[in-house]
Amino acid sequence: MIAIKNERELESMRQACKITAAARALAGEMVRPGVSTKAIDQAVHDYIVSQGAKPSFLNYNGYPASACISVNQTVIHGIPGGYVLAEGDIVSIDVGAYYKGFHGDCAATFPCGAISTEAQRLIDVTRESFYEGMKFATMGNRVQDISHAIEQHVESNGFSIVRSFVGHGVGRQLHEEPEVPNYGKPGRGPRLLKGMTLAVEPMVNAGTADVRILKDGWTVVTTDGSLSAHYENTVLITDGEPEILTVTEGL
Ligand code: MF3
Ligand code: CO
């Protein structure tokens, strides 16, 4: 069963998502050479707690931090630690906050200092693919209409969509139905209804789509060592344009 949120629930969800988006923005502003990933995680944690919210990821299935920080060939679920960011790195930061009974979930990839034009193109295409998906994120369409648009944009630009991880419904639980793949066929999948809230999150590799999980049980890296980028927002399906609940100006 895909949860439909009523207006009262959405009021709480908007607040959770506003905190989540602000945490992503402040994390992104910290990305520069010399900063450790654990310092960024600490700032995300402190900000979320300062707002009276809880970091959604901390202790989720045993996850040990508040943010996922995934550098270069790390796709998602990078565990913050002693790694010190270097000029030229690309840094994917994924955050979640739980507030008044609801989760927000969003991510973006940030450049550390000057990066290669190819790395910047990867970041740009990944973000653009999310917005291509949004053109189909309206009541009456199907989930894979979104998926297909994302896949088209990524592949037509010569990059690969990660297939072994997908977006998801989000709300009272961090992960709810339905799955929202970043690849698919138009007209397939569950029908989109007004009041559904989805985390749409393309993960895009510069090389092949293949990924593997490191021995820590979390860190997902590209098998070929190529760069990877991630972009995610929590969105509300309406009878018109989707409402991007984790929107931040300039992100
Ligand atoms: N945005 C990610 C997701 O949707 C975050 C989950 S990380 C975890 O799956 F650590 F909480 F698992
Ligand atoms: Co997510």
Ligand 1 site, residue 199, Cβ cutoff 6 A:
yes
* pLDDT band with cut points at 50, 70 and 90 for residue 250: confident
Tell me the C-alpha distance between 55 and 65, whole Å: 9
Report pLDDT for 97: 98
How many other β-carbons are positioned within 10 Å of the β-carbon of residue 201? 26
- pLDDT (tens digit per residue) in 81-116: 999 999 999 999 999 999 999 999 999 999 999 999
Question: Would you say residue 249 has pLDDT above 90?
Answer: no
- pLDDT (tens digit per residue) in 150-164: 999 999 999 999 999
- Give the DSSP per-residue string, the chain: ------HHHHHHHHHHHHHHHHHHHHHHHH-STT-BHHHHHHHHHHHHHHTT-EESSTTGGG--SSEEEEETTEEE-PPP-SPBP-TT-EEEEEEEEEETTEEEEEEEEEE-SS--HHHHHHHHHHHHHHHHHHTT-STTSBHHHHHHHHHHHHHHTT-EE--SS-EEE-SSSSSEEEEE-SS--TT-SSBP-TT-EEEE--EEESS-S-EEE-TTS--EEETT---EEE-BEEEE--SSSPEETT--TT-
Ligand 1 site, residue 57, Cβ cutoff 6 A:
yes
Mutate to test the pocket of ligand 1, among 63, 79, 219 (most ligand atoms within 8 A of CB): 63
**pLDDT, averaged across the chain:** 98
Tell me the C-alpha distance between 188 and 190, whole Å: 7
Q: What is the mean pLDDT of residues 109-132?
A: 98
Ligand 1 site, residue 105, Cβ cutoff 6 A:
yes
How many other β-carbons are positioned within 10 Å of the β-carbon of residue 185? 12
Report pLDDT for 45: 99
Give the Å distance between the CA of 182 and the centre of ligand 2. Answer: 12
Report pLDDT for 52: 98
What percentage of the chain has pLDDT greater than the value 70? 100
Question: Would you say residue 175 has pLDDT above 90?
Answer: yes
Can you give the C-alpha Rg of the chain in angstroms?
17
* pLDDT band with cut points at 50, 70 and 90 for residue 247: very high
Give the Å distance between the CA of 241 and the centre of ligand 1. Answer: 26
Residue nearest to atom 2 of ligand 1 (CA): 94
Would the pTM of this model clear 0.95, i.e. be above it?
A: yes
- pLDDT (tens digit per residue) in 197-207: 999 999 999 99
